[in-house]
Structure 1
Amino acid sequence: MSDPIIELRQYTLKPGRRDAFVERFEREFVDTQQAVGIDVLGMFADLDDADRFVWFRGFSSLQQRDASLAAFYDGPVWAALRDETNADLIDSDDVLMLRPRPGKPGLPVSVFGELAVRVWSLDDGSSALEAAIDAGGGDMLLSHPGPNTFRLPVRDDRVVVALGGDGLPGGELQTLRLRPTPRSPLR
């Protein structure tokens, strides 16, 4: 049985470093992650924070996640560029491990110039929130039950993440307005 995982990763970069970081990321890390079984699903510049890079990556299971992450982070490309890349980062630990709802794609098929992402805390009222997201035409991701078995940190927040959609209820923990980077698969 498949247990897909989608990571929502938010990086805070040193001021003025985003463009160079994105260029290096797209040149060096997209193909090398794909080669070890990591699906780079979308890469974005935050329209409201010039120093934030947001991206999604996917895995078919926890086991595949562990194997693919080990292959990448213990591999030669990351070893060669780790110090240079980490020098651009203030924070790379803002990571949510998510899953699509059964029978739903989880990520939109395309983005028309901008992707709105909203994050709500998951509580007992989540069914009303899920209904509102569905009615507004958005896609949705839910917290993955985990566990995180790889050495990289993941937030343990239980959340609902809406991607797109109109007329969604307020009360979200976070709202992101994102523009795809040049090589983003999700455009």
Structure 2
Amino acid sequence: MECCAVVDLRQYTLVPGRRDELIRVFDEAFVEGQEEWGMHIVGQFRDLDQPDRFVWLRGFADLPARAKALEGFYTGPVWRARGPEANATMIDSDNALLLKPVELGPRYPVLESPRPPVGVAEIPQSIVGGAVYHRASADDGFVQFFTDQVVPILADTGAEPVAIFESLVVENNFPALPLRDEVVLVWLTSFRDDAAYEEHRRELAASPAWQGKILPELLARKPQELRLRPTSRSQLR
């Protein structure tokens, strides 16, 4: 499979205190369990600012592959065996965005990227950061603004994007899993540790170009900032 023309970004609100339980089930059963159906599990994360939120990304070769893979997995033996266990940890699993790549950098995981085996308990020290920006329409010019004016400053402050996505505005071809009906731009990057992330934030705060021109435009998009800790089996880290 060539990855990833179609990507799901999913953010689950969980029963308080049960995130690690879901992560255990996910990393044990749902990584290879989904990839057997042609999906690519790019990354799965603890939200560092929301202790009961689990965030993950999965990719598909195209829309027909998405429908086929989701139908196969959610009617298959792995989900039948472990799905009830996962569902018991969730309050809301409908916070999901259907995306397409604007740009995937060389650090974006491919299918063959290494992934620790089941049972590895060590949590990476890295942070996957980024943001979701809300947009009025798909033709608002924001993608060009972001790639031309925002990305160079991000790169100069240690946060060159690993991936940039925008909404794939099509009908949901697997309606059993609802999607958010909105247009967004999403970017992600990776920092080696908390200190590198904080240094990036300090450099942005000290940047006249960022503070004077870029930040007001971004704030107008009502951003959701992402600060995520990869699980032990996440490829994106």
Is the pair's TM-score, using the shorter chain for normalization, greater than 0.5?
A: yes
Q: State how many pairs are aligned.
A: 184
C-alpha separation between the residues in 2 aligned to 1:18 and 1:50? 8
Shift of 1:133: 3.4
Aligned-partner SS, 2:169? coil
Q: CA RMSD in A?
A: 2.2
- The 1:133–1:112 alpha-carbon spacing in structure 2 relative to 1, beyond 3 Å, is farther
C-alpha separation between the residues in 1 aligned to 2:10 and 2:174? 15
Q: 4+ residue stretches of structure 1 with deviation over 6 A?
A: none
Partner of 2:69: 68
- The 1:115–1:132 alpha-carbon spacing in structure 2 relative to 1, beyond 3 Å, is farther
Contact 1:133 1:162 in 2 (8 A): no
Shift of 1:107: 8.4
Shift of 1:164: 2.8
Shift of 1:176: 1.4
Contact 1:99 1:144 in 2 (8 A): yes
C-alpha separation between the residues in 2 aligned to 1:44 and 1:132? 28
- The 1:108–1:163 alpha-carbon spacing in structure 2 relative to 1, beyond 3 Å, is farther
Shift of 1:53: 0.6
Shift of 1:129: 2.7
Aligned-partner SS, 1:8? strand
Aligned-partner SS, 1:81? helix
Q: 1:128 aligns with which of 136, 145, 148?
A: 145
Task: Give per-residue Cα distances to partners, 1:46-100, cap 9 Å, x unaligned.
Answer: 0111111100000010000000000100101111222221111001000000010
Aligned-pair identity in percent equals 40
C-alpha separation between the residues in 2 aligned to 1:107 and 1:149? 30
Aligned-partner SS, 1:149? coil
1:178 aligns with 2:231: no
- The 1:175–1:186 alpha-carbon spacing in structure 2 relative to 1, beyond 3 Å, is same
Letter in 1 for 2:44: M
Q: 1:161 aligns with which of 186, 191, 202?
A: 186
- Bigger radius of gyration, 1 or 2? 2
- Runs (5+) with no aligned partner, structure 1: none
1:149 aligns with 2:163: no
TM-score normalized by the length of structure 2: 0.71
Larger proportion of helix: 2
Letter in 1 for 2:19: R
Aligned-partner SS, 1:31? helix
Letter in 2 for 1:42: G
Letter in 2 for 1:142: E
